[in-house]
Structure 1
Amino acid sequence: MELRYEILPDSQIEECRDSCNELMAFQKSKATIKPELFDSMNFETRLVPSVKAALHNYTVVVKDGEQIVGYVYSNISPKEAYSNSFATFFDLSTVRQKNVGCLSQFYIKEGYRQYGIGSKLFDLSMSWLQQFEDVEDYFIYVSNGNDNALEFYKRKGFAVSHQILDGFITVLRSKKAS
């Protein structure tokens, strides 16, 4: 294994197409609540619109040789972006600042889990998110059935805030350390 971490500029987000689509298929395979909702979720409907709508984006891919074996996508967005026709992701009145940080997508291919890649991607993402002075609330949205991800984020200091869409998504939250 010859792992390399690369920050992708927004103009190269297309490199994440296959990994994003694999993430959606993985989430569907784990889901016990409304797995059919994932049928319309893919690179074009999830990652591209999110990158376009965010104020700031941060995407890191992990490559083994030339093959992408994982990625993390985080963003800074206006808090109002999380209240839309799909769902209201959190009570906007609980966020003092106008922007929030979100670790939005996170995926590591099956054969590459348990090597510390997830922790490295998580740490890179959180370091990036915490550099924004005007952001003090961070969110992660975990699809139902993905218990390993839920436990991973809890070990990293995030707490379950609530569930949305009848349990389809668990919302995790963390505040910037004072």
Structure 2
Amino acid sequence: MNLQYEVIPEEEAESCRDLCNELMLFQKSKASIAPERFDSMNFDTRMLPSIENAVHNFLVVVKDHDRQDEVIAYVYTNISPKEVYSNDFATFFDLSTVQRENVGCLSQFYIKEGYRQFGIGSRLYNMSMEWLAEFEDVEDYFVFTSNGNDDALAFYQRKGFTISHDILDGFITVLRRKAEIRRS
């Protein structure tokens, strides 16, 4: 495999459209609780509003040079005001438990079938966490996993996230991690 990891500006998020939509279908296929909720979730309803609401965005795509630079994976991470996570859809965490104004969120993460188990996920995860660590004013990192996606849940737990709680009657599991303490 001849893979290239490329940080892209949010203006090029369109290159993630197909994979984002594939992620929503993948999550629906795994879900045992309310899979129909994914019917209205796609690039336009999930990624674009998230990018617009964020203070800072970090997008990485992975291209396979052997397949005409096909985008085979992506991660979208952001820094957003904590209030963004309380909306008409759900309240994702108790805002009073977050001391700082902004939180970090590993928001979307997807690797095409056939490319999993080659370390791509760990590399994208590490890139995201290194980026998040640049923001000294952010103490809390969150990941939201959909029900049925046990592999993702286990992956984040291996990386130091702990389950905080479930929301929407178990539709989403909220995982949380404190930022590493920075020493000068």
* TM value normalised by structure 1: 0.99
Q: 1:136 corresponds to which residue?
A: 139
Query: What CA distance in whole angstroms lies between the structure 2 residues aligned with 1:21 and 1:41?
Result: 8
SS in 1 for 2:114: helix
The residue identity in structure 2 corresponding to 1:26 is: F
Candidates 103, 107, 113, aligned match of 2:106? 103
Pick one of 114, 118, 132 that aligns with 1:115. 118
Residue 75 of structure 2 corresponds to 72
Residue 176 (structure 1) shift: 1.1
> 2 CA distance for matches of 1:82 and 1:53?
10
Residue aligned with 1:111, SS: coil
Corresponding position of 2:40: 40
Q: What is the RMSD computed on CA atoms of the aligned residues?
A: 0.4
Which runs of 5 or more structure 1 residues have no equivalent in the other structure?
none
Match of residue 86 from structure 2:
83
Secondary structure in 2 aligned to 1:57?
strand
- The 1-side partners of 2:113 and 2:30 are apart by 13
Question: Which amino acid is 1:124 matched to?
Answer: M
Residues of 2 paired with 1:52 and 1:80: CA distance? 14
Distance in 2 between residues matched to 1:89 and 1:49, nearest whole Å: 16
- Offset of residue 26 of structure 1: 0.2
- 2 CA distance for matches of 1:33 and 1:129? 31
Decide whether the 8 Å contact of 2:133 with 2:180 is kept in 1.
no
How far is 1:50 from its partner? 0.4
**Residue type at the aligned position of 1:163:** D
Shift of 1:177: 2.0
The question of 1:163 aligning with 2:166 is answered yes
Shift of 1:130: 1.1
Aligned identity (percent) is: 69
State whether structure 2 residue 128 is matched by structure 1 residue 125.
Answer: yes
Letter in 1 for 2:13: I
Looking at structure 2, the residues matched to 25 and 177 of structure 1 have their Cα atoms a distance apart, in angstroms, of 34
Q: Can you list the C-alpha shifts for 1:26-63, whole angstroms capped at 9, x where unaligned?
A: 00000000000000000000001101110000000001
Which residue is 1:52 aligned to? 52
